[in-house]
Amino acid sequence: MRHLTCQICAGTVTRHAQAKVMGRIEIEYFRCSLCGFLQTETPHWLAEAYASPINRSDVGYISRNLRLRKATPLILDWFFDAHGDFLDYGSGYGMFVRMMRDQGYRFQGFDPFCKSLFAPDFTLSGRLDGHFEAVTAFEVFEHLEHPARVFSDLLAISDTIIFTTELVPDELPAPQDWQYFGLDHGQHVSFATKKALALLAEKNGARYFHCGSDLHIISRKKISRISIYLVGKDKIQKMWSVRLKRRKTLLPQDHQQILTRLATSSTPGEHSHV
């Protein structure tokens, strides 16, 4: 079954291209005539595509987390209560959660489709609820069949989403000419434009900010666009990293918390999640 309307603005979509994902499944891509959002047909192949939650060709997993470990603290310190609670949605192996806690930020993870290897004791299980100063969602948007629905749910638990996704190029490429289509793994089904993200923010009573490259913010908080421009600069991030060294890490208390849980657990080695 094909989508008849845009997942973001409900505008009319037209066929853009056809391609094979995972080497054998023929699918079609459609583009919205109003906001430029690009989406696949109904992604009936996702169960097979997610046989492994983190696809084998994602060789940038570690370098991406290292980069975002530098960019995110600057955003949190400048615009938000850096001592608040934060959630990493689609946290995968939990590497980013662990990195941010190491730097003194109270992060938890949430990912019902992937086991946390690095922060299992700081991962939400069950329902997505509570309230957070901000939610991060890195390399998540493009995986969502219904991105507007998911982002609306996230904005119900926080006024801010800090996320990454590559924008659709101005000259729309054929699927085989843009690696972000992810034809080898078939997990990428939604592709954003600035206009689509701005409309998504507006629908939720928020504003959209492009921080440069693949980094974006949707927030109901008052944020200066000039400041947003600055936080996207690598030089500013490096300067701010010096200040981070004076922030108290959560490593000792996290270690003690885990030891306490292990001592009271009925099963040796069992971890109870927050």
CATH number at residue 158: 3.40.50.150
**Domain span at 71:** 61-162+194-244
Eight-class DSSP state of 126: S
pLDDT above 50 for 60? yes
Which pLDDT value is given to residue 214? 95
Residue 171 lies in a domain: no
Residue 77 lies in a domain: yes
DSSP string, 137-153: EET-GGG-SSHHHHHHH
Kindly report, residue by residue over 21-46, the tens digit of the pLDDT.
Answer: 999 999 999 999 999 999 999 999 99
Residue 270 lies in a domain: no
| Helix 61-79 / helix 234-244 crossing angle, nearest 10 deg | 80
For 119-148, what is the mean pLDDT? 95
> pTM for the whole thing?
0.92
Could you tell me where the beta strands, DSSP code E, fall in the chain?
Answer: 13-21, 25-32, 38-40, 85-89, 106-110, 134-138, 160-164, 190-191, 207-210, 215-219
Kindly report, residue by residue over 197-243, the tens digit of the pLDDT.
Answer: 999 999 999 999 999 889 999 999 999 888 887 777 777 777 777 66
Residue 205 lies in a domain: yes
Phi, psi of 160, deg, nearest 5? -140, 135
Buried-state track 126-163, b at ≥16 Cβ within 10 A, e below 16: eeeeeebbbbbbbbbbbbbeebbebbeebbeebbbbbb
Strands 134-138 and 85-89: parallel
Which pLDDT value is given to residue 271? 47
What three-state secondary structure class fits 46? Answer: helix
Which pLDDT value is given to residue 1? 45
Kindly report, residue by residue over 165-205, the tens digit of the pLDDT.
Answer: 999 999 989 999 999 999 999 999 999 999 999 999 999 99
Q: How far, in Å, are 46, 58, 80, 185, 258 from residue 120 at the CA level?
A: 25, 22, 26, 26, 10
Q: Secondary structure of the chain: what % helix, strand, coil (to 5)?
A: 35, 20, 45
Residue 174 lies in a domain: no
List the beta bridge partners of residue 12.
Answer: 5
Q: Alpha helix locations (H) across 83-127?
A: 95-102
List the beta bridge partners of residue 163.
Answer: 137, 216
Q: Rg for the chain (alpha carbons), in Å?
A: 19
Overall domain count for the chain? 1
Phi, psi of 69, deg, nearest 5? -65, -30
Phi-psi sector, 212: left (phi>0), alpha (psi -120 to 50), beta: left
Adjacency order of strands within the sheet including 38-40: 13-21, 25-32, 38-40, 190-191
* Mean per-residue pLDDT over the chain, rounded: 91
Listed residue (100, 120, 238) closest to 162, CA to CA: 100
Residue 122 lies in a domain: yes
